[in-house]
Amino acid sequence: MNRVHIKTYGCQMNERDSEAVAAMLRARGYRIVNSEEECDVLLLNTCSVRDSAEQKAIGRAVNEQARKKKRPDFILGILGCMAQNRGASLLDQLPDVDLIVGTQKFHQVPGYLDNLRAAQATGVPLGETIVDIGEETGSQNTIRDHVLAQDETPEAAPQVSAFVSIQQGCDMDCSFCIVPKTRGDERSRPMDDIVAECRSLAGRGVREVTLLGQIVTSYGRRDYQHTAGVTPFVQLLERVSAIDGLERIRFTSPHPRGFRQDLIESYGRLPKLCEYVHLPMQSGSDRILRAMNRPYSRDRYAEIVAALRAGCPGMHFSTDVIVGFPGETEEDFAQTRELFAACDFDMAYVFKYSVRSGTPAAELADQVPEEVKERRNQELLVILERNSTRRAAALVGTVQEVLVDGPDQTGRRWTGRTRGNRVCIFDAAPRLMGTLQPLRIERASVSTLYGELVLAGVEK
């Protein structure tokens, strides 16, 4: 009765947290299984960024409570941001949940499951649901263990990319965002520990790492000195770049104010740093940016994009944009639409503003009607499709470096990503798994490139 399935909602940070919990559970003797139907323990790692994300997780938990009535030994747990945000109040809707664990207590999950299973074995119930959403000093250092694909299934293809958590929490206080409440204050991991983790991953066959943080570019600003104008985050990039066996580095999510000259110049002097930036814009209106408590202007945002493209002409960009923020007028949205089109993004996450209880924006008057949000959302998506299609088409006929990372969904072809983070589909031999290969792009869709490996005289 030790089979555990972890279902993850939300961002890459949540994915990394789930992976770390899985590694801790495996070390304690639990089996991590892919089947939700065959598990003895179901853990839902939740998101609170939008109400729809919370409702999706709650709906799933409500359904799983029916399984508990049929199987009294079945354990249901809620982890992560929604657990942190709502705590014991979740029991009003989910009275049969066994475990509610917040974002700073993931490392306690194995012990809590041991206690629940021991109580079941003795027939003496623990009584009240375990609820732990307290803050814990040093909790950012517990997200360090990995379960790679080959660890779970030895015959699986080696995992060639991995997330590495470098920082937790956020001090930015954007007026629309619940993250400071769910993730706590900004806390960075020791640089030596991060470098050691990346080196270990490289030794296990990982060729690409993505450094993760709520505001990743703020890494270490209270813990390390600037050296000759180089920020701690760029110092970390330099050290990770020096690791043998590691071929590519990405990071997410940054903040525009973190793009100082040292970071911009890094793309020209660190060959392993991929020319891809996820740069959240949120709005193109200075008035709305001030209301969002975003400390940059539309002109400064455009300057950053221009500087990155000037230093690295092949740069690819993605972004986040919120439409329908309280008080957003047609003029405000027109400014967003103009900047969004001018930046020529390869990809974007466009969100309709969602009221999050406990954030300053939730108390603002002049909430935008839902039908207006939907119209503005669709206008940006039309621009995105046009720009993304054109930028993908421009790659047809070129040769792009791809990291071969596994079979595609059909199992008949292979997939990989360019340095600009475009997904590619092509024919390849299994022996090329985890290698960097030149790919001639033959056709493109809005989100995918198709091509042929350039392997003169060699079996593909």
Question: Would you state the pLDDT for residue 124?
Answer: 64
Question: Would you state the pLDDT for residue 229?
Answer: 86
Asked whether residue 403 carries a pLDDT value surpassing 90, the answer given is yes
Question: Would you state the pLDDT for residue 70?
Answer: 85
Asked whether residue 357 carries a pLDDT value surpassing 60, the answer given is yes
pTM across the whole model: 0.94
What number is the average pLDDT over the span 294-311? 97
Contacts of 272 by beta carbon, 8 Å cutoff, 6+ apart: 240, 241, 246, 247, 248, 249
Average model confidence (pLDDT) across the chain:
93
Question: Would you state the pLDDT for residue 126?
Answer: 62
Question: Which domains, ranges and CATH numbers included, belong to the chain?
Answer: 3-132 (3.40.50.12160), 139-393 (3.80.30.20), 399-453 (2.40.50.140)
What number is the average pLDDT over the span 324-336? 98
Percent of the chain with pLDDT over 70: 97
Percent of the chain with pLDDT over 90: 84
Asked whether residue 457 carries a pLDDT value surpassing 50, the answer given is no
Question: Would you state the pLDDT for residue 155?
Answer: 67
CB burial string 88-115: b at 16+ within 10 A, e below = eebbeebebbbbbbbbbbbbbbbebbee
Residue in the block written with tokens 């960075």: 188
Question: Would you state the pLDDT for residue 316?
Answer: 97
Cβ atoms of 328 and 377 closer than 8 Å: no
Q: Which of 162, 137, 139, 136 is closest to 149 using CA atoms?
A: 162
- Alpha carbons 223 and 153: distance in angstroms, whole number: 39
Q: What is the pLDDT of residues 13-24, one digit of tens each?
A: 999 999 999 999
Asked whether residue 442 carries a pLDDT value surpassing 70, the answer given is yes
Three-state SS at 8: strand
Ramachandran quadrant class, 245 (left: phi over 0; alpha: psi -120 to 50; beta: rest): left
Question: Strand pairing partners for 437?
Answer: 402
Q: What is the pLDDT of residues 275-288, one digit of tens each?
A: 999 999 999 999 99
Residue in the block written with tokens 């307290």: 134
